[in-house]
Amino acid sequence: MKVYRCRVCGEVYIGEEKPKTCPFCGAHEAYFVLAKEWKLLHSDSLSDISKDNLKKALDLEINNTNFYKAISEKSGDIYISSMFKGLSKVEREHASAICKHLKIQKPNSNAGSDKAVDSDRENIKEANRRERNAVKFYGEAIKQASEKEIKDFFNALMQIESDHIVLTD
């Protein structure tokens, strides 16, 4: 058995092989390293643009966390409820990782929780729209970031959100 850590969220995974995706934040296998080699994607001096984009990313991730949690609680379909419960946890992990970069406590917010409706179909449609917007935002944030670590971080989030689009298509 080996001990791995995710360079995006910092969580630990124990197994014979790296997981294909992080069970906590959804980061792809390339972001896993042996624990003894681990270093969180981090930059001590962030540009104002990166700080601003990380703050926007935090708002986006918290809003999606709460929206997905609300859907998971509203849906009567066990598959849809389960999918959104999992997505909510992943988005919450993204928000926590962003707070590590910003060196702040995660704000307590219910933003987005009131946006879930009674229709699973409409909620899935809205989730897909949100994920596409997130991919677009992270693509722009990559271009604007001057720090390699932050570019890598936004790239990881863009890949993960792209995976979520597949779920909601």
One domain, residues 111 and 149? yes
Which residue type occupies 44?
A: D
One domain, residues 103 and 162? yes
One domain, residues 162 and 127? yes
One domain, residues 33 and 110? no
One domain, residues 17 and 54? no
* Residues in CB range of 65: below 8 A, 6 or more apart: 88, 91, 92, 95, 112
Nearest CA-CA partner of 54 in 11, 126, 104, 112 = 104
pLDDT per position as a tens digit, 57-101: 999 999 999 999 999 999 999 999 999 999 999 999 999 999 988
One domain, residues 71 and 32? no
Q: What is the pLDDT of residue 97?
A: 93
Residue 43 falls within a domain, yes or no?
A: no
Q: What is the pLDDT of residue 169?
A: 87
> In this structure, are residues 8 and 156 in contact, taking their beta carbons and an 8 Å threshold?
yes
Q: What is the pLDDT of residue 40?
A: 63
Q: What is the pLDDT of residue 42?
A: 59
Q: What is the pLDDT of residue 122?
A: 97
Q: What is the pLDDT of residue 63?
A: 97
Q: Structural domain of residue 104, as residue ranges?
A: 48-168
DSSP character string of 66-128: HHHHHHHHH---HHHHHHHHHHHHHHHHHHHHHHHHHT-PPP---TTGGG--S-HHHHHHHHH
Q: What is the pLDDT of residue 44?
A: 66
One domain, residues 32 and 53? no
Residue ranges for the chain with pLDDT beneath 50: none
Cα distances (angstroms) measured from residue 111 to each of 8, 12, 26, 66, 163:
24, 29, 22, 7, 23
Residue 42 falls within a domain, yes or no?
A: no
Q: How many domains does the chain have?
A: 2
